[in-house]
Amino acid sequence: MKIKDLRRFIIAVLTLAALTCALTETGRADTWRLNPKGEWDNLVDTPEGSQMMEVANAKKLIARGKTKEAKEALLQLRQEVTELQGPDLDAFIDAELQYADGNYDKAAQLYKAFLEDYPDSWLYESALRRTYQIATAYLYGRKRPVLKVFKLSAYEEGADLMHHIADLAGDAPIAKDALTEIAVAAEKRGEYLEAYQAWAEVSATWPTGELGQKALLGMARSLHSSYQGPGYDTTSLVSARTYYVNYKLRYPEAAEENNVQQQIELIDEQLAYKQYKIGEYYVRAEKTQAANLYFQAVIDTWPDTKSAVLAQKQLSPGDDPSVEVKKDWKRKTFEGVEDLLDEWYGLHKIFPELPAPESL
């Protein structure tokens, strides 16, 4: 920056500071902006600024719960004849009136129509932000009336609105907020796979930076939380572990703050226990050779886990997991379930001598 330009910049900053102090002392609610000539104009003195301030004041009244005053202000704004008067202002006021009355469903429809019909309007950002507020309310529990009698969850409508905002806003901050809000709300509802998908969308769009870091941890956390126990598939655990390891490599300090290593160790315990429980099943089914293979796999793959200790106790010191050892175990499973699991885990491919399950 040249010295001359720097001098102008400093003068502008000092002038703005002086104006701010003066406004504070006098209590005036003026707003100032720098015009193309480098001069400060009072925004309230311009037609555009005046109407912007009136819209802002009406929105403040709505936020404070002063619905009657807000509606009066909006209707008065509609009657004013200015350069900004037009169909976009009328459409925005219609939506605001519905919002002021608490008719979020109708207001959302009107805001969506506004955003589609008037993308260049000076009220576009206000309509986008208001749509975001409605979507947030829906995501966190606000219900929508049906047939004027019933009230049903509007969560899906909220998620759809957030996606719509993200599509319209592109790379703007409100687009990031919208997709992040979907992920956070889904996690709070216990919809972990939906949360994972939302975090994945955030990560795909903004893979780096603070948001990319947050999304990576969110994907790991959501998938890990979606695991339902040893009776279920472990694909989510394996993927969650991969994300955690990646997070630890990319953000070591943040990983330590978020106890990522503990989560990795917990997943190892869960994966080991899953395999151990399969081994236990084959013990009960008197398939000792198959059971020993699973116990040995636990010891070899996850040697530092509690399940490895349990697996070692199942194997006598001289056991060779590839050799069938006859033990007098009491059968506790039905033959049909036994054959089903043999087929499910592919034991017939490993042990051809096992009888194939009968076709159902």
* pLDDT tens digit sequence for 66-88: 667 767 777 777 776 566 678 88
**pLDDT for the residue 75:** 76
Question: Is 303 a domain residue?
Answer: yes
Total domains present in the chain: 2
Q: Which long-range contacts (CB under 8 A, 24 or more apart) does 84-90 make?
A: 84/47, 84/48, 84/51, 84/122, 87/118, 88/114, 88/117, 88/118, 88/121, 88/122, 88/123, 89/51, 89/123
Q: Bridge-partner residues for 145, per DSSP?
A: 151
d(CA 112, CA 101): 18
Question: Is 89 a domain residue?
Answer: no
Question: Is 23 a domain residue?
Answer: yes
346: left (phi over 0), alpha (psi -120 to 50) or beta: left
Return the amino acid letter for 325.
Answer: V
The half-sphere exposure of 304 on its side-chain side, counting CA atoms within 13 A, is 5
Whether the model clears a pTM of 0.85, i.e. scores above it, the answer is no
Q: Are 131 and 111 in contact (CB under 8 A)?
A: yes
pLDDT confidence of 48, banded at 50, 70, 90? low
- Summarised one tens digit per residue, pLDDT across range 216-230 is 999 999 999 999 999
Asked whether residue 257 carries a pLDDT value surpassing 90, the answer given is: yes
Alpha-helical runs (H) found in 38-117: 47-63, 67-79, 87-100, 104-117
Question: Is 120 a domain residue?
Answer: no
- Summarised one tens digit per residue, pLDDT across range 271-316 is 999 999 999 999 999 999 999 999 999 999 999 999 999 999 998 6
Residue corresponding to tokens 């925004």 = 43
Question: Is 158 a domain residue?
Answer: no
Residues whose CB is less than 8 angstroms from the CB of residue 278 and which lie 6 or more positions away in sequence, other chains included: 294, 341, 345
d(CA 176, CA 346): 45
**% of the chain surpassing 70 pLDDT:** 69
**pLDDT for the residue 73:** 74
Q: For the chain, give the longest Cα–Cα distance.
A: 97
Question: Is 282 a domain residue?
Answer: yes
Q: Are 181 and 173 in contact (CB under 8 A)?
A: no
Q: Pick the residue with more confidence: 62 or 267?
A: 267
**pLDDT for the residue 42:** 53
Q: Bridge-partner residues for 1, per DSSP?
A: none
Q: Are 55 and 126 in contact (CB under 8 A)?
A: yes
Asked whether residue 37 carries a pLDDT value surpassing 80, the answer given is: no
Supply 302's token pair: 């996850």
Residues present in the chain in total: 360
Where in the sequence is the domain holding 34, given as residue range(s)? 7-42
Count helices and strands in the chain by DSSP H and E runs:
17, 4
Task: Give CA separation, 98 vs 116, 127, 146, 179, in Å.
Answer: 18, 13, 16, 26
**pLDDT for the residue 100:** 86
Question: Is 109 a domain residue?
Answer: no
Question: Is 22 a domain residue?
Answer: yes
Asked whether residue 4 carries a pLDDT value surpassing 50, the answer given is: no
